[in-house]
Amino acid sequence: MNILILGGGGREHALAWAVLQNPKCDRLIVAPGNAGIAQIAECAALDILDGGAVAGFCEEEAIDFVIIGPEAPLAAGVADRLREAGIAVFGPSQAAARLEASKSFTKAICDAAGAPTAAYRHFSDAQAARAHVRAQGAPIVVKADGLAAGKGVIVAETEDQALAAIDEMFGGSFGAAGAEVVIEAFMTGEEASFFVLCDGETALPIGTAQDHKRVGEGDTGPNTGGMGAYSPAPVMTQAVTERALDEIVRPVLSEMVRRGTPYSGVLFVGLMIEGGAPRLVEFNVRFGDPECQALMMRLGGQALDLMQATAEGRLGEMTVNWAEDHAICVVMAATGYPGDYQKGGVIGGIEDCPEDSFHQVFHAGTARRDGRFVANGGRVLGVTARGSSLREAADRAYGMVDRIDWPDGFCRRDIGWRAL
């Protein structure tokens, strides 16, 4: 089978690695890919937001199956264009991708499905939004309605922070994504990410994880795209998992079917859990990054069979083969991230790290210069390991971190602290 993966971050490196573990994969192309992915697969320059261009490329290269990594091509309707061309694709339609692309759409679906989530109001006018914040007080959550590259959610601890977020959003800092906002009640509890493959009405859980969004140790400092993740998340007990499926995932899938826009792909269910009760924080219509790196280390080659079955509507016949294992991904980022950072610092030592089904260094933002890896982004490496316990996985991951020689880089040393 000839496979194309769209995307070029750590998530796509992990997807590529897992796909290559499966003997069904004859040829793998990743567009655009990155310097790490180029070591294991072909990389192609392609405008991944242009469905026509992607479909044309698939025809030229005889691609049998496309896996769409990031949300932007999904929200742009690339999966629809590929399906129209008769190409099998893993990822939801543009209409179903609204579960990530519009916060107010998701809230309306939750209302219709009776899925528990925070109380909310939707505003297209700054004055009314400000008045609502003044009436509600803080803490309160302000969300840009549209896609804002992970930066559109402000958990405001004070009223002033919430008002500033509203001004920023309506002031255009988030572009069209901030033209409307959703303001939500603040939820307390422990967050977890739950990943479910869906093909219309069938839901197959493929793992849980916890992300570390803050840049600093002890979960302090500004928010990032994620500084590390581990899987499984202990808070996602069997009972919580069943409740999340029964109270959130299945009713939402049914509502999407009822509206004529069934959901097909991976549903990333962001949950807040308190007293054993899960409530929805947000949906994403793709794998999380860096959660995907930890999940792929645990799933290995079966990930391809599962994604293919999702695309073909055969999930009902699939099971996941679980090992009693744990995985962790430690993100190494460029000093200054998530603010301004320098690109171009030379990274040594990656070659000295073991590469096997327990150890992988996934690249998120690297380039090749004069035969050496250099940093080419904010989040640069996802140092990922698996073990029979989280402690073993963490020791393996930090053992690799310590071999990496990158003076301009940093990582959090406490990934997994809640579970460890």
CB of 214 to ligand GLY, least distance (A): 12
Question: What's CA 163's distance to the chain center, in Å?
Answer: 28
Q: Which residue has the tokens 């792929």?
A: 296
| Binding of residue 80 to ligand GLY (CB under 6 A) | no
SS3 103: helix
| Binding of residue 150 to ligand GLY (CB under 6 A) | yes
CB of 234 to ligand GLY, least distance (A): 18
> Of the listed pieces 50-58, 130-138, 246-254, 283-291, which binds ligand GLY according to CB under 6 A?
283-291
| Binding of residue 291 to ligand GLY (CB under 6 A) | yes
> What spatial distance separates the first Cα and last Cα of the chain, rounded to whole Å?
41
Q: Which residue in 210, 231, 284, 360 binds ligand GLY (CB under 6 A)? A: 284
CA dihedral 19, 22, 25, 31 (to 10 degrees): 10
The smaller minimum CB distance to ligand GLY, of residues 21 and 223, is found at 223
Q: Which residue in 288, 365, 378, 382 binds ligand GLY (CB under 6 A)? A: 288
Who contacts 103 (Cβ-Cβ below 8 Å, separation ≥6)? 143, 144, 145, 146, 182, 282
The smaller minimum CB distance to ligand GLY, of residues 80 and 291, is found at 291
The smaller minimum CB distance to ligand GLY, of residues 202 and 384, is found at 384
Of 69, 45, 67, 68, the closest CA to residue 57 belongs to 45
| Binding of residue 12 to ligand GLY (CB under 6 A) | no
- How far is 262 from 280, CA to CA, in rounded Å? 19
- How far is 370 from 346, CA to CA, in rounded Å? 10
| Binding of residue 223 to ligand GLY (CB under 6 A) | no
> Of the listed pieces 285-293, 337-345, 360-368, 371-379, which binds ligand GLY according to CB under 6 A?
285-293
- How far is 411 from 285, CA to CA, in rounded Å? 27
The smaller minimum CB distance to ligand GLY, of residues 130 and 412, is found at 412
| Binding of residue 56 to ligand GLY (CB under 6 A) | no
- How far is 310 from 245, CA to CA, in rounded Å? 17
| Binding of residue 384 to ligand GLY (CB under 6 A) | no
Per CB under 6 A, residues contacting ligand GLY are 150, 211, 225-226, 284, 288-289, 291
